[in-house]
Amino acid sequence: MTNSQNYTLEEVIPFLKMDQLQISVAAMARQEPISASDSLTESDIWFIVLADLLERLKFLQPAQRTLILATITGPVNKLVFPPISPADDEKRPIVMITFADGVFCSWTNNPGWLDLKTGAAVEKLPAWPIESLAYNLSRLVTDLLRKITQAKENGKNKRKAHKQNAPAE
């Protein structure tokens, strides 16, 4: 990580809707396993945040979630995630994922749309969408890392207080 912070899947899971098995299955879409004990790469963190967001979106079917993950992390129209540096949250480029009418999906720097019914890439929408939803993945990553850091600090403070309150031997 650019800020020398290391995070493990074990530290991340308490803040997610997904469990370790769901994350492992989702990681198959990008063909890169995620180990529970190893330090997560920046790409792992972005991927986990994206997969967890998709899991929370009730209008998506499991096959659509897999399609999105595989397409976004695949070689064509791949979403390139910027470096993670919590010290520079405000400077981090915004990475978005957008849905139109629950049928089409696009993301930052993708020149077109992904049809969630057929799996086809389309250059433009067939009509103006009635409904569109956009999610800021950069903010979700920032929030996750803050929660983990705060939990680590709380754990250190509790251990320190416990040592101070422990009876002398």
So where are the chain's domains? Answer: 9-86+137-158
Q: Are 129 and 104 in contact (CB under 8 A)?
A: yes
pLDDT tens digits, 85-110: 655 566 677 899 999 999 999 999 89
Enclosing H/E stretch for 42: helix 42-56
Phi and psi at residue 84, to the nearest 5°: -100, 125
pLDDT tens digits, 42-73: 888 888 999 999 999 999 999 999 999 989 88
* Cβ atoms within 10 Å of 27's Cβ, excluding its own: 19
> How far is Cα 83 from Cα 161, in angstroms, rounded to an integer?
35
